[in-house]
Structure 1
Amino acid sequence: MTEAIRVVVTGAAGQIAYSLLYMIARGEVFGKDQPLILHLLDIPPMAGVLEGVVMELADCALPLLQEVIPTTDPKVAFKDVSAAFLVGAMPRKEGMERKDLLSANVKIFKVQGQALNEFAKKDVKVLVVGNPANTNALVCANYAPSIPKENFSAMTRLDQNRATSQIAAKLGVPIAAVSNIIIWGNHSSTQYPDAGQGKVFINDVWKSVTEVLNDTSFLQGPFIDIVQKRGAAVIASRKMSSAMSAAKSACDHMHDWWNGTAPGKFVSMGVFSDGSYGTPKDVVFSFPVEIKNKQWKIVQGLTIDGFSKSKLDITGNELREERDEALSVLESN
């Protein structure tokens, strides 16, 4: 039998993890023949809830799940893990300034970065889900210098899934018939959902989304607004933030990172920028990537028009500001 891998989920007593843990333990991320040992990390006040989650996982009788280790200690949580889903983060509260949010999260991701650095496997794949995800990933990597920066990423797959769903609905085709929709930049209201490189399978052939749709005003207006504001719309309707869809997107992200992307298909991931497409370097920026052998590579050579360039500049500037604010917090700690 294949040797079990250890996977940690932080914020494991929370809403997103409640869906995420089941999907992971069923084999939807790492494979239907890959045994797992799940490490569940949360803060001490959530320890009781965590025990209930452990009971539910046991009651699911999942064949791949060899062991579940609930803990409030990062040293235990990150010991020998091959993959990490960093879901837990300080949520933005009413009246909270962005700098206050960054400051609170710097403390969380500093501790987790240090624990990853000391206890995790050096080829660990780290996915940051907790917001502000891009800058949290940057901070976490900063405190784990023994792990390659390429092994840290931020989740923009939820935005990509939202955008893909909107395009499929607009064209009246199944989700599987739409591919290569891109999210550029930050997982925030400045992100740029881009259907300009998208493909749609229609009449037994893959065609350009923009040519088939033939509606520039929609793609440069309502489409972007809907995707950028979708999280807020879910909260307004559900009175809680996205959980099921966020969990599914985290699984999609890690699945593709672990197993690779199909030829000609690319996915959106927040990764350390090398300056591609004129973006700022040394921020975690969402790009279209292709993945092979667990290594991502930014898709090069895409045509970026003036409208798209202006959107990349806006989200890039926000990420640069976030990075500088986070670094100032780091220096004062």
Structure 2
Amino acid sequence: MTTELMMLIAEENLETHIEKELEKESMNDLINPLEVWIVSASTNVCNHLIPILASGDVFGVDTEISLTFFDWEQTENCLISIVMETQDLASPILRSVSYCTNIEEAFFQAQVIIFLDEITDEEVFSLEGFLRSRVPLCHLYGYMMEKNADKSVKVIVGGKTFVNLKTALLMQYAPNIASNIVAVALGVEGQAKAILARKMKTSPSSIKDVIIWGNITGNNYVDLRKAKVYNYESAIWGPPGYYHSVLNLIFDSEWVTKEFGMTLETLSTTGREFGCILAAHSITTTMKYWNYGSPPGEIVSLGVMSEGQFGIPEGIVFSMPVKFENGTWEVLTNLEDISLSEKTIKRLADDLIQEKLIAMGDLLTFQPVGEESRTSIVLDAENAQSSMALYGEKEQDGLDDSEGKR
């Protein structure tokens, strides 16, 4: 037998093998639905999550899912109502719907776990007390995930209170699945896009590549250096896929440096940027990207464990630019001109480090880093028509206030 013939037969055998494996996977999907658990299911966000998950948009219209709502025993009546209403959807992809209030049974065979903000009756009178109260809960959840969940489980942490910290604690107490635990940052990203779109009189969906740095539900930067707007009505038009730099089109530097940041700060302090609709959409979009990949060439923000990228201290969950591809995510360390100064990184990281130290009892009180405004803009001296919007710390990167101002 010639080498050419052997290679041809080997190729045919490989194709047959792949077809059989795909057929086997398809049969397994029919037999075993995807096990999806929602934690703190009595919260309002869950009601907005359910129709999106049941639509087939997140996991695919050919993937059946089993939904389990987890919360504590005092919420049982609420969970029963949620189960019945979900069944009323008569969704063709919902194989089963149930609830669980027994922590020993939590996350049994779970392949996807979504953490929402928990509702608690305990009285906490200080920030430090609240931070410390997260530890035993995350310890318990982490242990049960390690014990009961599928080894390849995907865990998404959403909400509006200390999302970075809760994600870090879950990673600490579930080390075997830590690489599959992420924090949702698309809520802040979406809010920033909407504010920009209202200013530019365009659609928020036309604005891409807004980067969220740092603490998702706290002191963060909204970075517009890479932000683009597509299909924008201006004097310059281009073929499909043509875009403008957002900062090149906003000529009101006063608005960029003050009002934009102040609006974001107000929304952050009130927690409005994580309303139920936006929270549910951000969680499901992150999950969809994780399954099918983010739009090609688009920058997505995600809270992940730092490994020292961009000079960020290791060991803290930090929002940074990523892309989703082939069922996983990758930090975009190769992007040009997005480095942050040491001062900026220190400010953002110090808050996150303090939160963890306080939660673990290694620090008694939280000390904010600096008393200046959390809203700031760094002006780009190389381009008089553009500026960089960062939400978090007043910083000039070596520029005086007079430099770069128009």
TM over 0.5: yes
SS of structure 1 residue aligned to 2:134? helix
1:325 paired residue number: 358
Structure 1 stretches of 5 or more lacking a match? none
**Contact 1:198–1:209 (CA<8 Å) still a contact in 2?**
yes
Corresponding position of 1:288: 321
Structure 2 unaligned spans of 5+: 1-25, 364-406
1:73-92 equivalent positions in 2, closer than 5 A: 73-89=102-118
Number of aligned positions between the proteins = 324
Kept in 2: contact 1:189–1:229 (CA 8 A) = no
Aligned partner of 2:176 in structure 1 is: 146
Is residue 106–residue 329 contact of structure 1 (8 Å, CA) maintained in 2? no
Moved over 6 A (4+): 91-95
1:1-333 residue pairs with structure 2 within 5 A? 2-3=29-30, 4-89=33-118, 96-130=125-159, 131-147=161-177, 149-201=178-230, 202=232, 203-204=237-238, 205-233=242-270, 242-300=275-333, 301-304=335-338, 310-328=343-361
The 2-side partners of 1:115 and 1:328 are apart by 23
Amino acid at match of 1:183: I
User: What's the secondary structure of 1:200's corresponding residue?
Assistant: strand
Identity of aligned residues (%): 27
Q: CA deviation at 1:169?
A: 1.6
Kindly indicate whether the alpha-carbon contact (under 8 Å) linking 2:163 and 2:217 is maintained by their aligned counterparts in 1: no
Deviations 1:111-145 (A, max 9, x none): 11111111111211111114211010111111112
Query: Within 1, Cα distance between the matches of 2:156 and 2:132?
Result: 20
Tell me, yes or no, if the aligned pair for 1:272 and 1:282 is still in contact at 8 Å.
yes
- Measured in 2, the distance between the counterparts of 1:179 and 1:287 equals 15
CA–CA distance in 1 between the matches of 2:121 and 2:180?
26
Pick 1 or 2: higher relative contact order, CA cutoff 8 A, min separation 6. 1
Instruction: Give the whole-Å Cα distance in 2 for the aligned partners of 1:176 and 1:247.
Output: 17
Any idea what SS the aligned residue of 2:346 has?
helix
- How far did residue 50 of structure 1 move? 0.3
Q: The residue matched to 1:135 in structure 2 has which SS? A: helix
The more displaced of 156-165 and 71-80 is 71-80
Task: Give the conservation status (yes or no) of the 8 Å contact 1:200–1:207.
Answer: yes
Task: Report the TM-score, using the length of structure 1 for normalisation.
Answer: 0.90
User: CA–CA distance in 1 between the matches of 2:271 and 2:141?
Assistant: 29
In 2, Cα distance between equivalents of 1:324 and 1:233: 25
Kept after mapping to 2: 8 A contact 1:159/1:183: yes
TM-score between both structures, scaled by the size of structure 2: 0.74
3-state secondary structure, aligned to 1:229: helix
Bigger radius of gyration = 2
**1:188 positional shift:** 2.8
Change (3 A) 1:268 1:94: farther
Displacement of 1:229:
2.7
Kept in 2, the 8 Å contact 1:260–1:291? The answer is: yes
Preserved contact between residue 134 and residue 359 of structure 2 (Cα < 8 Å) = no
Q: Who is 2:376 aligned against? A: none
What is the one-letter code of the residue matched to 2:332? V
CA distance, structure 2, for counterparts of residue 277 and residue 305 of structure 1: 6
Q: Structure 1 residues 187, 228: CA separation in 2 closer, same or farther (over 3 Å shift)?
A: farther
